[in-house]
A and B are shown apart, each in its own frame.
Chain A
Amino acid sequence: MSSPLTPPPEAPLRTGALADAEIDAVAAARGLAPEDVAIRARADASSRRTVLALYALAIVWLLIGTIFGDLASFKLHWPDLLTQQAWLTFGRVRTAHLHAVNYGWASLALIGTCLWLLPRLVHTELQGARFATFGATLWAIGVAIGAVAVLAGYNDGMEWLEAPRYMAGPFLVVGGGLLGLSMFRTAAARRAEHLYVSVWYILGAFIWFPMLYVVGKWPTLSGVESAAANWFFAHNVLGFWLTAMSVGLAYYFIPKVLGRPIYSYALSVVGFWSLAMFYSLNGMHHLVGGPLPTWMITTSIVASIFMFIPVVATGINLHMTVVGRFGALRYSPTLRFVVLGAVAYTAVSLQGSFTALREVNRITHFTHWTVAHSHVGGYAFVSFLAFGAIYYVVPRLVGHEWPSARLIRWHFGLVLAGITLYIASLTWAGVAQGLALLDPQLPFQVSVERTLPGLYGRSLGGVLLTLGHLVFAYHFWIMVRRPAAWRARPPFHEVQPILYTAEAEAASRPSAREVGAA
């Protein structure tokens, strides 16, 4: 934020934990009760190493996944690029991309944030932090084994479940189990009476994911039964794993950063249970018109329409919390990413319900529309939430603010431009492709040729995303390395939160409401 100062070498490095005297000082300066500040300081200190380790692993996987994603994108319009090696063929790098970003980047970044958030929300310390760190390491090894196996041609053959169950599976199961154990033990050790809405989603995610994984990897299924299990898993791994954690985080960060409570408690209850009820029945809409019993597909189409209930409930709740304070988006990178992510969640969910309609599906099924849709969800929603969370959490763990507002602006600008271009060009390509395929008079060639401009546009979007990720990774690197030049900077808790500057206050409506989330 400010220019680096000359370091007095004797100045100590800050850590996340505060001494008792500091807690009193911070509480007085911010007008908070010293107990509340102490609870947060203890919670943050307990999760510090674990969460930083998860974030570092997540960012490594983000970079790996980005490279494979770019390569897969280039190969679709330059099909003779790098064809001599089996491991570089489209079908393998595309799958390595999906695994790296889904199970590596998004999962680890969200788990890390949940491990930081849960102790804060239930007023306790993270239980079994070392087991959690070990679990995260096993998980990351499992993802690595899965990616290498897929590149080497070992593949279980079902989308989203390609990582071989007997190679990567044990690492993911034991690693995920240790992380879940730490999460549940923390919840059980709670001192807060109330469970904030984010806690429901976090605990739900850790109950749901193991159930889904067992169903998806069940080894005895074949034929269309395996298709049912496949899409039951592949759809719900988004809804009950990535979405559940991301919505839980949006419910925390939006009211937290804005300093106002969630709009409606009742809507958050409706949103949670109706998401569980309806999302869980959506999976077969990936097989509309396919050889499954019609009642299964119809069930999923109906449930997809009913998804309006949780989506509208959650959407109203999150967006009404922001209404009137949109100006604050200018001052908080966390809020920018999280609010845009929440908007993308509403958009992608409504798009999903719409796509499940037979009349729409006959055009969009089997086209790039679906790939664009998955990036509205996986990137504009989930990854934006993860970026916003990391920008909020890391300063509280390392004890100083992010070194450069400009790098954050570059990151935000590049990924926003990149994902917009990505989604726009690929959605357009999908519609063009779908309409061409629906006209039996047009040869197949036409559907390929009409798609090509969209594929080039997607690659350009991917390059912008890559640049954004490099900026982000570099910034994270210098943030945690803490060069000597920063030792003289004031520690994080003494920096005036940028939202509370006179300028930021003037940009937003004065609010009489009180601080909401934890």
Chain B
Amino acid sequence: MTAPASGDGGDRGGRVDVMARGALVGLGAFAIMAGAITLLVIVPATMLRQVKAPPDLPPYTARQLEGRQVYIANGCIYCHSQQIRDPAFTTDVDRGWGSRATVPEDYVHDRPHLLGTMRTGPDLINVGQRLPDMDWHLIHLYDPRALAEWSIMPAYPYLFARKRPQDVGPGDHVVKIPGPRAPAGVVVVAKPEAIALADYLMSLKRQYPVPDSARAGHRMAMQRADGGAGDGGR
């Protein structure tokens, strides 16, 4: 391993220069990556397979799963997270986004995960608890600025149809857009995708008590929280 940079020797004084053997470099590179995959993917996957669905967490309905696909297809994940972090070092709970840190059990029905990495918009893992109103979600999806002037969320008018009042049928879900941004002379009707997405959003509730299986880990986190705050108060 001590050949000079411009040298050309594979063998040097009887010693093998590993870095001059392509196969050895390749094998080492492969072995290190295989070790990392084992440690960070295979071992956790084996452990987490034991995680059971909490009794208070129903599986998604067919329409909610459809809404989840709409969420994925339109890239909601790039601005919205779905996780409450440890209150020991974040203010996620104080902000009212949830009553506790989320645990692996909360995500057993999620395939794939939608934990997210951005909060250009608020966290959504408990949005169904915060905003349990289908019409609020539909108005907000059609035109976020009809409800919050400062919002930079994209509008999703393509999830809605605009119809003349006389064309509205009995099965149509009419969305009444409030305020000056309401479209004039037409009625906004939610397409099935919009209703499915709103239904999925309203299903996002992870407020039940931490399941027993996760309690040990959760208690440790809570203890750290108290220890971290020193005087016991956050």
Contacts and interface: CB of A to CB of B under 8 A. Distances in A.
Interface in A235-281: 236, 240, 261-262, 264-266, 268-269, 273, 276-277, 280-281
A367 interface: yes
A289 B91 contact: no
A277 B35 CA distance: 9
Interface stretch (A108-116, A416-424, A433-441): A433-441
B154 interface: yes
Interface string A385-417: 000000000000000000000000000000000
Interface in B4-37: 4-10, 17, 19-22, 25-26, 28-30, 32-37
Contacts of B81: 366
Q: Chain A binding site: helix, strand, loop or mixed by DSSP? A: helix
Given A261-B6, A262-B5, A280-B33, A227 B113 contact: yes
| Max count, chain A CB within 10 A of own CB: residue among B17, B29, B122 | B29
B156 to A, nearest CB: 7
Interface in B90-126: 90-91, 94-96, 101-104, 106-120, 122
Given A79-B154, A291-B101, A90 B33 contact: no
Contact of A207 (B30, B110, B152, B157): B30
Contact of A221 (B32, B45, B118, B152): B45
Contacts of A155: 72-73, 75
A193 B113 contact: no
A449 interface: yes
B112 A158 contact: yes
Contact of A299 (B7, B40, B76): B40
B78 A90 contact: yes
Contact count band on B: 35 or more
A77 B51 CA distance: 41
Contacts, number: 270
Given A76-B152, A367-B119, A226 B33 contact: no
Interface string A306-348: 0000000000000000000000000000000000000000000
B185 to A, nearest CB: 17
A156 to B, nearest CB: 7
Contact of A261 (B5, B89, B115, B221): B5
Given A193-B8, A444-B122, A276 B19 contact: no
B145 interface: yes
B127 to A, nearest CB: 12
A299 B36 CA distance: 11
A1 interface: no
Contacts of B28: 273, 276
Interface in B146-191: 148, 150-158
A300 B119 CA distance: 22
Contact of A286 (B49, B75, B117): B117
Contacts of A266: 1-2
Interface in A166-196: 187-188, 190, 192-195
Interface in A286-303: 286-294, 296, 299-300
A127 interface: no
B78 A91 contact: yes
A458 interface: no
Given A80-B145, A269-B1, A276-B32, A223 B102 contact: no
B8 A91 contact: no
Contacts of A221: 45, 111-112
B203 interface: no
Contact of B221 (A268, A294, A362): A294
Interface stretch (A46-54, A81-89, A474-482, A492-500): A81-89
Nearest to A518: B6
A226 B114 CA distance: 9
A193 B149 CA distance: 68
Interface of B: 1-10, 17, 19-22, 25-26, 28-30, 32-37, 39-41, 44-45, 47-49, 51, 72-79, 81, 83, 85-86, 89-91, 94-96, 101-104, 106-120, 122, 144-145, 148, 150-158, 217, 220-221
Given A226-B113, A289-B86, 14 more contacts: A85-B158, A94-B75, A197-B19, A204-B29, A211-B34, A222-B107, A222-B109, A280-B36, A289-B101, A293-B44, A299-B39, A362-B89, A365-B85, A440-B95
21 contacts: A79-B154, A83-B156, A94-B75, A153-B74, A159-B77, A187-B22, A188-B22, A203-B29, A221-B45, A222-B107, A222-B111, A226-B113, A268-B5, A276-B28, A287-B115, A289-B85, A290-B83, A291-B101, A448-B120, A448-B150, A516-B6
